[in-house]
């Protein structure tokens, strides 16, 4: 079961070493497999794509059965229970509302000397959104990936997700695709799906950007094709850190730790508390609650191998450790949590108070649940509308602005030893001196 560790200045480094992810010997072998799949799909296109789908998913597909268009998506979505459909629709509405607040506009600034500077904001042309399948059908992930792309104005959003053993896509996933506005679903998963989106095949259209979480093969494939296409990030296993004071409810804290532990045996569940009594109570709650989970074996392995409860001297120490961990999800189960929010520097998403558990963010609150993992919240942000736009700088100098800036530009170019850069400025000054910019001889 989960370990309880007293953490102080003397053993802080040992604690951080303990919780950091162990090197994954499987990753090196997986990378070789991924490279082979990508090369094969790039070379043989559909033939390789269907081969790997049959090999890994045990489903035989062809060009006509691999694609679901909007009509087919709607037809399958109609089979979903009406209450379940309504839940997805309400969640989608909240997600769209939040992401609408992130929209950016092009802008221009005109200065007195005739300079016009600005920035054009345009959506990318096409996006491929990967949605995990397998043991979990994550309609929520489809919403979180497709909706911000549509809010950004992306016209062509396709979903890739592995089919079930019958070659079908679930009604819940189709409902999410319909509500979010996806143009099509490709029934392919794994590294082969990422390769198809990156390079295109006879049936899968090449995307400009590929987003979405997946297993280690998907993550490594995204890493491998980056540069050929844009990606959001290389996501790892899910993780949660909870700061809890002596007044926190141990049953709540244990349940929230398990909400991430049930994802994957590699998921990381960490609690940092100022109370040894609470730590013991949380451990007892974990032991009792795990028995009731349908994914108990996964959750138990996760908290045993990657979970820990740290007992620290005060909340300030807890906050420092949390910033060093830079978790994907951070819960503040403490009195007056908003007072401590300014001290949070590294976290994908922060959940404040006893009634803001992590699953609220996973499904319903509105902010994106595609978050930086593996301490990458130190430099990455949640998936957002900004991930689906590209910015173009605009520069227009008048004659007066050019003449005013020319001496500095020439000096800078000559300082760097780039004579042609300087000459590009000088030739215009000479032309102006003899003929004027309009071409008339002075």
Give the mean pLDDT of 387-409. Answer: 97
Domain range summary for the chain, segments of one domain joined by +: 27-75+106-233, 236-379, 399-434
Q: Are 362 and 91 in contact (CB under 8 A)?
A: no
**Known catalytic residues?**
328-329
Scanning the structure block, which residue is given the tokens 């028995």?
291
- For helices 216-225 and 25-44, give the axis angle rounded to 10 degrees: 60
CATH class entry, domain 236-379: alpha beta
Backbone angles phi, psi at 328, to 5 degrees: -65, -50
Scanning the structure block, which residue is given the tokens 């400025």?
425
* C-alpha distance across the termini of the chain, in Å: 89
Using 50, 70 and 90 to split pLDDT, how confident is the model at 8?
A: very high
Mean per-residue pLDDT over the chain, rounded: 95
Structural fold of domain 27-75+106-233: Rossmann fold (3.40.50)
pLDDT at residue 169 greater than cutoff 90: yes
What per-residue confidence (pLDDT) applies to 28? 83
What per-residue confidence (pLDDT) applies to 312? 98
Scanning the structure block, which residue is given the tokens 């549509």?
150
C-alpha 85/C-alpha 88 separation (Å) is 5
Share of the chain above pLDDT 90, in %: 92
3-state per-residue secondary structure call for 308-337: EEEECCCHHHHHHHHHHHCCCEEEEECCCH
Give the mean pLDDT of 336-364. Answer: 98
Distances (CA, A) of 279 to 311, 381, 398, 428: 7, 31, 68, 74
Look at strands 126-130 and 156-160 and give their pairing.
parallel
User: Which element (helix H / strand E) includes 199?
Assistant: helix 190-199
CATH topology identical between 27-75+106-233 and 236-379: yes
β-partners of residue 123 are 389
331: nearest Cα among 249, 437, 423, 436: 249
C-alpha 213/C-alpha 129 separation (Å) is 9
C-alpha 294/C-alpha 1 separation (Å) is 18
- For helices 250-261 and 296-306, give the axis angle rounded to 10 degrees: 100
pLDDT at residue 76 greater than cutoff 90: yes
Give the mean pLDDT of 61-77. Answer: 97
Reported as a single tens digit per residue, the pLDDT across 216-275 is 999 999 999 999 999 999 988 999 999 999 999 999 999 999 999 999 999 999 999 999
The reported pTM is 0.93
Using 50, 70 and 90 to split pLDDT, how confident is the model at 25?
A: low
- For helices 25-44 and 46-57, give the axis angle rounded to 10 degrees: 140
Give the mean pLDDT of 196-210. Answer: 98
Using 50, 70 and 90 to split pLDDT, how confident is the model at 155?
A: very high
Reported as a single tens digit per residue, the pLDDT across 87-140 is 999 999 999 999 999 999 999 999 999 999 999 999 999 999 999 986 678 999
């Amino acid at each position: 079961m989960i370990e309880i560790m007293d953490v102080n200045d003397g053993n802080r480094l040992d604690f951080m070493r303990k919780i950091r992810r162990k090197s994954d010997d499987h990753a090196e072998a997986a990378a070789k497999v991924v490279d082979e799949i990508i090369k094969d799909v790039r070379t043989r296109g559909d033939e390789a794509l269907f081969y790997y789908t049959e090999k890994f998913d045990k489903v035989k597909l062809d060009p006509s059965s691999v694609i679901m268009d909007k009509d087919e998506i709607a037809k399958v979505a109609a089979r979903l229970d009406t209450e379940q459909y309504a839940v997805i629709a309400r969640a989608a509405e909240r997600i769209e509302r939040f992401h609408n607040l992130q929209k950016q506009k092009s802008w221009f600034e005109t200065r007195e000397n005739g300079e016009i500077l600005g920035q054009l904001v345009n959506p990318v042309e096409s996006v491929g959104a990967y949605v995990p399948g397998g043991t979990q059908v994550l309609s929520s992930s489809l919403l979180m990936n497709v909706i911000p792309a549509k809010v950004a104005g992306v016209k062509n959003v396709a979903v890739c997700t592995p089919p079930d053993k019958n070659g079908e896509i679930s009604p819940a996933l189709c409902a999410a695709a319909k509500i979010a506005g996806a143009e099509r679903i490709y029934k392919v998963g794994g590294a082969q799906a990422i390769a198809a989106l990156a390079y295109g095949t006879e049936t899968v259209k090449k995307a400009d950007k590929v987003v979405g979480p997946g297993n280690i093969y998907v993550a490594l494939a995204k890493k491998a094709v980056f540069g050929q296409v844009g990606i959001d990030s290389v996501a790892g296993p899910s993780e949660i850190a909870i700061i809890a004071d002596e007044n926190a409810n141990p049953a709540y804290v244990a349940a929230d730790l398990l909400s991430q532990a049930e994802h994957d045996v590699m998921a990381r569940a960490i609690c940092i508390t100022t109370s040894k009594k609470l730590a013991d109570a949380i451990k007892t709650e974990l032991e009792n609650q795990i028995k009731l989970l349908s994914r108990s074996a996964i959750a138990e392995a996760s908290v045993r191998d990657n979970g820990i409860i740290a007992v620290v001297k005060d909340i300030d120490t807890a906050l420092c450790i949390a910033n060093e961990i830079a978790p994907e999800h951070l819960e503040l189960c403490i009195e007056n949590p908003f007072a401590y929010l300014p001290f949070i520097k590294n976290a994908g998403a922060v959940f404040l108070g006893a009634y803001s558990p992590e699953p609220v963010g996973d499904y319903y609150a509105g902010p994106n649940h595609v978050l930086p993992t593996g301490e990458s919240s130190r430099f990455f942000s949640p998936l957002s509308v900004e991930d689906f736009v590209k910015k173009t700088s605009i520069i227009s100098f008048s004659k007066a602005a050019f003449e005013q800036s020319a001496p500095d530009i020439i000096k800078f170019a000559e300082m760097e030893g780039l004579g042609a850069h300087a000459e590009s400025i000088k030739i215009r000054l000479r032309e102006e001196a003899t003929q004027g910019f309009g071409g008339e001889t002075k």
